[in-house]
Amino acid sequence: MRITVLIENTPAEGLYHEHGLSLWLEHRDRGYLIDTGASGHFFDNARTLGVPVETAKAVIISHGHNDHVGGLERFLQEVDSTAPVLIRTAAFDDFRCVKSDGTEEDIGFDVELINRYSDRFCVLGDGHASLGNDVYLIGDHTQGGPYGSLDKTLKVLRPEGLVPDPFKHEQTVVVEGDDGALTLISPCSHSGIVNIVEDVRRLIPSRTVRNIIGGFHLMGPAGINSTNCPPGYCSEVINGLADLGVEQIWTGHCTGLPALRAMSACDALEVHPLQTGMSIDL
């Protein structure tokens, strides 16, 4: 199994970077594109890195925020592919970020894509899905509790007004390795990464989540050098993951640098930073 970071916040020589995330998963001679970043630059990086995104068996959209689906139209326009776009029904909601001064930012994406490319979308409702090849999509994550979302700025516009985002649009990729251990790819983990791992363990009790790749949404409103969590929370998360059997994580994007440093200081498991262009072999 190999995961290549096509685009992420962290710069790398000769590659584009942005506040967004796109990953390429190779597993048993099949490729899957997971998210498309905030723009089409993931595709430019894929060309530079020699990643054949045109061979994707599926395009998996982890959730409906524009920093993960902003490059989808370019893929649909320019890539000669028949890969289905796997996305949750709720990803087409009207997502907003409400800033501290009360202003709203539209963080959704162009939902007209589903009309222009209706033959390409496979819209998933509630529940979970198997893609074959020991690759699964897990949705309907547990919300709240001590490890629930700490970001109170994320909202959905309903007829009655703005309401907290229930993250029904979020789905996580789970890959079973040759040794039976699981790798979990969770690009933003809005529901809380410990909650998500616990959900996977309940669904697949005979397997251990050994590796996690993705963002943990601990970045604060001031950007990559800020955090939204209280002191000690990051070590609680790391210890919670270690107690569940996790051995390694690769994190970045929405995690933020303070949280990444705090997690790296813990000894309970291995913590690695994500970076544009890197590959992870498992």
pLDDT more than 90, % of the chain: 93
What is the band of 274 on the pLDDT scale with cuts at 50, 70, 90?
very high
Give the pLDDT confidence score for residue 197 in this predicted structure.
Answer: 98
Q: What is the pLDDT of residues 76-122, one digit of tens each?
A: 999 988 999 999 999 999 999 998 888 999 999 999 999 999 999 99
> What pLDDT sits at residue 80?
81
Q: Which of 20-29, 120-129, 202-211 has the lowest mean pLDDT?
A: 120-129
pLDDT(19) > 90: yes
Q: Is the pLDDT of residue 208 over 90?
A: yes
- Give residue 243's domain range: 2-281
CA distance 20 to 175: 22
Whether 269 and 241 have beta carbons less than 8 Å apart is answered as yes
Q: What is the rounded distance in angstroms from the CA atom of residue 117 to the CA atom of residue 22?
A: 21
pLDDT at residue number 130: 94
What is the dihedral sign for C-alpha 59, 64, 65, 71? positive
80/52: higher pLDDT: 52
Q: What per-residue confidence (pLDDT) applies to 11?
A: 95
Residue 260 pLDDT exceeds 90: yes
Number of domains present in the structure of the chain: 1
What pLDDT does 101 receive? 85
H-assigned helices in 148-251: 193-203, 233-243
Q: To which residue do tokens 């933003």 refer?
A: 188
DSSP structure class, residue 114: H
Share the mean pLDDT of the chain: 95
Average pLDDT over residues 23-27: 98
Q: Would you place residue 258 in the very low, low, confident or very high pLDDT band (cuts 50, 70, 90)?
A: very high
pLDDT reported for residue 250: 98
Polymer length of the chain: 282
Q: What is the CATH number of the domain that holds 155?
A: 3.60.15.10
pLDDT number for residue 37? 98
C-alpha–C-alpha distance, residues 219 and 258, integer Å? 8
Q: What percent of the chain has pLDDT over 70?
A: 100
Query: Tell me, what's the pLDDT at 99?
Result: 87
- Which stretches within 6-71 are classed as H helix? 41-49, 66-69
Q: What type of residue is 48?
A: T
Residue 18 in this model has a pLDDT that exceeds 90: yes
Q: How far is CA 145 from CA 149, 193, 195, in A?
A: 9, 12, 8
Q: Is the pLDDT of residue 271 over 90?
A: yes
Q: Average pLDDT for residues 163-184, to the nearest whole number?
A: 96
119-155: pLDDT as tens digits: 999 999 888 999 999 999 999 999 999 999 999 999 9
